[in-house]
Each structure stands twice: as C-alpha cells, then as structure tokens.
C-alpha cells in the first residue's frame, strides 16, 4: 500500500508538473472581480517578481517511491488501530480524516486472507493492473493519442500503479468474497473510485453497475433496494473502489482533493437484464471493445460481463417517484395524466414527456444522459411504442433541443466550450459564432451529436416504480470483467 506524505493540493499539482516549489496564492471564490483584484493584486505581483530562491528553482518530474509490500506487523488489535489512524485536515477546520481507510473499520488484510482472496482470479499477484483491451488511436483536439496496447498500466494518483495483490488487499479490507475478484479487478482497471488526486471536489458518489452473468453468479442484487444496504456483494464492491482511491494513490479527503465524491456512499449494483422488455438489450451489449486485429470496435454479447462506472456528479432520484404515480398514467388518472393533458383518457402514454422537460430547464446543456429505471417504467415505454432502446434514444435526441443562446445564458457554458471558442460539433462553427450569427441554432440536449451516447439501465426493480438520473455523468464507461477471471 502507498501512503506518501500528502502536502497540500497546490504542491501536489506543482509536483506532478515538474515544478515542486511553485508559488501559489489562495483566492476565495466569493466577491466581485474588483474586490478580488484589490485584495490580491499586490500579493500576486510580489509572487511573480520576487527573485526565486535556490529551493524554488528545483525542477523535475515526480517519481513515486517504491512502496513497502508489508505495511505493518503486529496483533490484529494493533493492526486495527494502525489502519484506523487519522490526520488532522485544515480544510475541515482540523477535523480528523482517515489515512488508510474510508473511515469505517476494515477487515485486516493478513497474508493468509489476501492469499485466499487471490484464489478468485487466475492472474498472478505481481501482475500490474492494466487495460483489459487495447484502445484505438485517437485525435483529441490538436493532440494525437497513439493506440494503447492491452495491459497498459493504469496510473493512479501521484503516478502510482497497482498490482493484483494490492487490489486483493483492498478487497479484503472492504469485506469482499474471493468470488468477487473479477469485478474487483475490473473496478481497479477503471481507476477505482478516482485516479484524480488532486482533482476536483464533489458531494456525489462514484457508482458502478455490473451487467452480465457474473452478477447472478456472485449473488448481486439487481432488484428491490439494490442501492441500499443489505446485499454483501453490492455493499463491499461499492466500497472497494473508494479504498483503492485512498490506498493506490494516497488520497486523503481535504488534504488533496479527489473527485471520488463521497466514498462511503459510493454504490455498486447489478443490472436487471431479465427485467428488460422484449427487444431491449443490456448495458453489456451496448458497449464495445477494440479489436487490434481488425482495427474495429466489437460489441460485447449477452454472455459477457461488463462493469459500468458512472460518477462525477452521481445520481439524482427521479422526480415524483411516489407509489403508483407512473403506473397510473396509462389509466389516465392522477397528476401525471393531468400534467400531460390526458386525464380521463386511458392509453399507452410516454411518462418521459413529463420529466425530460424539467431536466432540460434545470440543466440546459447538450450532452449524453443515463437513466436507471425500474423494469415497470421500462415496460411502459415499451408499450408506448419504443420496441428498442435505440428508438427511445433517437426520440430523446430529436425531441429535446435548446437554442445556443439558452445554453450560453446558463452557468454550464463557459468551461466546457472554452468561453465559446470551441467548435460546436454539429455545425462546425464556434459556439460564439453561432450565438452571434445564428442565435436560434438548436443543440441536442440528450445525445449532443449521437443518440447512442444516451443510456438506460434496468435496475432496482420489483418494488414501487422509480428512476434515477445521472447528472452530467452521461453513459458510464464500460470495462470488461471476464478477462479478470
């Protein structure tokens, strides 16, 4: 395990960029521009013009020290006390934050328990965790990214890598069973909870979904309350990613920020593939992997198990998710029928027509979307006429657009468009050009440039109907599980 001295956020950014002693000035995020300039201008000028000290002239890229394989030796009680250590963090007014865990007690990762955990995979303990599949060459703006081979090491915070054994250590600490190891290693190949440390801060959790046969094999819950406590596989797999963030990259919340969000509430659940309406495919089949021989993306099948990782902004529970609220729509009763103007007229209605406009008003920005639906809500959409997920995605894409000026007037414009200078992909023009010369140009809210970038996952079924929406997260990235068996 890796537990280097953390320093602080700014020093870590400078360290990773080759200027470990870079000067910095903290500026609050409140106050007018004029007030901030008046307060900090003199400090900034002084920092820019004072001669550099010999220490500040030091340069070089950071190389992490080799971590010890054995972190601590002692009794179980002593080990529990050791792993329960905290550090005082200034950013929470000197509150204690766990150094090695997520703040909860853990199972002590003894040699014997780690060895037993490793029986859940055929991979060697010393193997560095890398990509299960190769990645194609990409063009990212002006930068060309070459093809990445399968097995390329996953880099965690502070440039650390991890081994299969280290993943097994986290699995033991989280309380996983050896049979969970393929999913654990897929989570590790997805970067655990987060590899961004330093990164941005967030109150939202990272979430994982397991789609495919392995979910049932290891006893995961895809049904009632699958995001709640109770199921050992769901709970421990939801926890293990957060422990990886801490232990692979040495992240301590508040000392160096991490976009893993609230790790104690990170969740892992299974997709209810059996709850899909006829013709609807699972999340696993909606994902692809790159085939080096053919230079093409190849779809996974229903027999493949795939991990989805969502997050950044987490999940929001559905609006109006009360018992009977949506199931009453087709009978033409209750508030949702009145909202859609069909009260008293039974029929096969589309309940999304009630909630998507609310999302558009709340978050008027183009992008992909991901919904986690109760199987009954999916069935209602099927009965309305969406015989495949692709048909639903195309309807969402075509129906809900906003003028580029509405996007510009939101708080979601300047950062993703680089102040409007970025090229809007459907027009080939910059956003500012469109604002000036074609202010009513329509942007697709659900899908941006591709309806297939939307996502619907069937889960949390069998109880009262409800849904979740992944705010800004879009379609989760997919990671192969089966190669880790």
Domain assignment of residue 414, yes or no? no
The helix/strand/coil state of 82 is helix
Domain assignment of residue 413, yes or no? no
What are residue 288's DSSP bridge partners? 299
Domain assignment of residue 223, yes or no? yes
Counting beta carbons within 10 angstroms of the beta carbon of residue 79, is it exposed (0 to 12), middle (13 to 18) or buried (19 or more)? Answer: middle
pLDDT at 254 over 60: no
**How many folded domains does the chain comprise?**
1
Q: What does the pLDDT read at residue 253? A: 64
Euclidean distance between CA atoms 66 and 55, whole angstroms? 24
Domain assignment of residue 476, yes or no? yes
pLDDT at 151 over 50: yes
Mean pLDDT of 234-247: 91
Mean pLDDT of 131-143: 78
Euclidean distance between CA atoms 444 and 431, whole angstroms? 14
Residue 147 pLDDT grade (very low, low, confident, very high; cuts 50, 70, 90): confident
Q: Which domain holds residue 105?
A: 70-318+350-400+445-485
pLDDT at 350 over 90: yes
pLDDT, one tens digit per residue, over 166-223 is 999 999 999 999 999 999 999 999 998 877 665 555 566 688 999 999 999 999 999 9
Domain assignment of residue 410, yes or no? no
pLDDT at 448 over 90: no
Residue 323 pLDDT grade (very low, low, confident, very high; cuts 50, 70, 90): low
Residues in Cβ contact with 385 at an 8 Å cutoff, skipping those fewer than 6 apart: 348, 391
| Mean predicted lDDT score pLDDT of the chain | 86
pLDDT at 138 over 80: no
Euclidean distance between CA atoms 338 and 207, whole angstroms? 35
Mean pLDDT of 343-366: 91
Residue written as tokens 């990782």? 309
Question: Quick check: 419 and 371 in contact, CB under 8 A?
Answer: no
Mean pLDDT of 457-469: 84
| Of 2-16, 206-220, 470-484, the least confident | 2-16
Identify the H or E element spanning 375.
helix 375-384
Euclidean distance between CA atoms 243 and 329, whole angstroms? 43
pLDDT, one tens digit per residue, over 396-419 is 999 999 999 999 998 889 988 999
Counting beta carbons within 10 angstroms of the beta carbon of residue 221, is it exposed (0 to 12), middle (13 to 18) or buried (19 or more)? Answer: buried
Domain assignment of residue 388, yes or no? yes
Question: Quick check: 273 and 306 in contact, CB under 8 A?
Answer: no
Domain assignment of residue 156, yes or no? yes
Percent of the chain clearing pLDDT 90 (strictly above): 53
Q: What does the pLDDT read at residue 328? A: 85
Convert 151-187 to b/e letters by CB count within 10 Å (16 or more is b).
eeebebbbebebbbbbbbbbbbbbbbbbbbbbbbbbb
Residues in Cβ contact with 139 at an 8 Å cutoff, skipping those fewer than 6 apart: 145
Euclidean distance between CA atoms 444 and 414, whole angstroms? 18
pLDDT at 427 over 90: yes
Q: What does the pLDDT read at residue 105? A: 93
Q: What does the pLDDT read at residue 7? A: 37
Question: Quick check: 184 and 176 in contact, CB under 8 A?
Answer: yes
Question: Quick check: 245 and 194 in contact, CB under 8 A?
Answer: yes
Residue 5 pLDDT grade (very low, low, confident, very high; cuts 50, 70, 90): very low
Tell which residue, 410, 433, 404, 409, has the closest CA to residue 421: 433
Measured N-to-C along each axis, helices 181-189 and 164-174 cross at an angle, to the nearest 10 degrees, of 120
Q: How many residues does the chain have?
A: 485
Identify the H or E element spanning 139.
strand 138-140
Extract the tokens encoding 273. Answer: 């593939």
Mean pLDDT of 280-309: 94
pLDDT, one tens digit per residue, over 45-72 is 999 999 999 988 888 776 777 788 898 9
pLDDT at 8 over 50: no
Domain assignment of residue 380, yes or no? yes
User: What count of other Cβ atoms lies within 10 Å of the Cβ of residue 369?
Assistant: 26
Tell which residue, 221, 258, 232, 310, has the closest CA to residue 102: 258
DSSP string, 258-288: -TTB-GGG-EEEE--GGGSPTTPPPTTTT-E
Question: Quick check: 98 and 84 in contact, CB under 8 A?
Answer: yes
Euclidean distance between CA atoms 232 and 239, whole angstroms? 11
Q: What does the pLDDT read at residue 1? A: 35
């Amino acid at each position: 395990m890796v537990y280097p001295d953390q320093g602080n956020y700014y020093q870590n950014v400078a360290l990773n960029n080759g200027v470990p002693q870079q000067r910095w000035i903290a500026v609050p995020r409140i106050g007018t521009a004029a007030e901030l300039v008046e307060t900090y201008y003199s400090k900034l000028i002084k920092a820019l013009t004072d001669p550099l000290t010999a220490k500040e002239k030091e340069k070089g890229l950071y190389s992490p020290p080799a971590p010890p394989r054995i972190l601590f030796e002692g009794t179980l009680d002593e080990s529990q006390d050791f792993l329960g250590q905290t550090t005082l963090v200034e950013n929470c007014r000197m509150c204690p934050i766990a150094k090695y865990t997520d703040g909860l007690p853990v199972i002590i990762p003894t040699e014997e328990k780690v060895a037993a955990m490793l029986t859940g995979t055929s991979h060697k303990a010393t193997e560095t965790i890398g990509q299960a599949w190769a990645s194609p060459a990409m063009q990212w703006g002006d930068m060309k990214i070459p093809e990445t081979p399968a097995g390329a090491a996953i880099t965690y915070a502070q440039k650390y890598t991890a081994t299969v054994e280290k993943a097994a250590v986290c699995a033991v600490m989280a309380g996983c069973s050896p049979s969970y190891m393929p999913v654990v290693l897929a989570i590790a190949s997805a970067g655990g909870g987060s590899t961004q440390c330093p990164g941005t801060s967030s109150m939202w959790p990272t979430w994982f979904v397991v789609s495919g046969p392995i979910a049932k094999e290891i006893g995961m819950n895809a049904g009632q309350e699958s995001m709640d406590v109770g199921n050992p596989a769901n709970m421990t797999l939801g926890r293990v990613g957060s422990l990886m963030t801490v232990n692979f990259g040495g992240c301590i919340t508040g000392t160096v920020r991490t976009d893993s969000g609230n790790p104690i509430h990170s969740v892992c659940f299974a997709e209810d593939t059996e709850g899909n309406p006829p013709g609807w495919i699972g999340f696993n089949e909606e994902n692809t992997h790159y085939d080096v021989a053919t230079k093409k993306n190849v779809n996974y099948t229903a027999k493949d198990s795939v991990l989805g990782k969502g997050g950044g902004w987490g999940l929001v529970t559905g609006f109006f998710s009360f018992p009977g609220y949506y199931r009453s729509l087709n009978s033409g009763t209750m508030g949702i029928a009145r909202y859609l103007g069909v009260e008293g007229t039974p029929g096969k209605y589309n309940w999304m027509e009630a909630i998507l406009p609310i999302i558009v008003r709340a978050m008027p920005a183009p992008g992909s979307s991901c919904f986690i639906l109760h199987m009954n809500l999916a069935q209602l959409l099927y009965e309305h006429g969406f015989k495949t997920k692709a048909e639903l995605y195309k309807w969402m894409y075509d129906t809900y657009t906003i003028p580029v000026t509405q996007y510009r007037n939101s708080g979601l414009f300047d950062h993703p468009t680089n102040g409007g200078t970025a090229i809007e992909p459907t027009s080939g023009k910059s956003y500012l050009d469109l604002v000036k010369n074609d202010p009513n140009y329509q942007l697709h809210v659900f899908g941006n440039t591709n309806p297939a970038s939307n996502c619907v996952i069937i889960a949390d079924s069998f109880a009262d109907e409800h849904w979740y929406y992944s705010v800004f997260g879009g379609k989760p990235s997919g990671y192969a599980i089966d190669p880790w068996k």
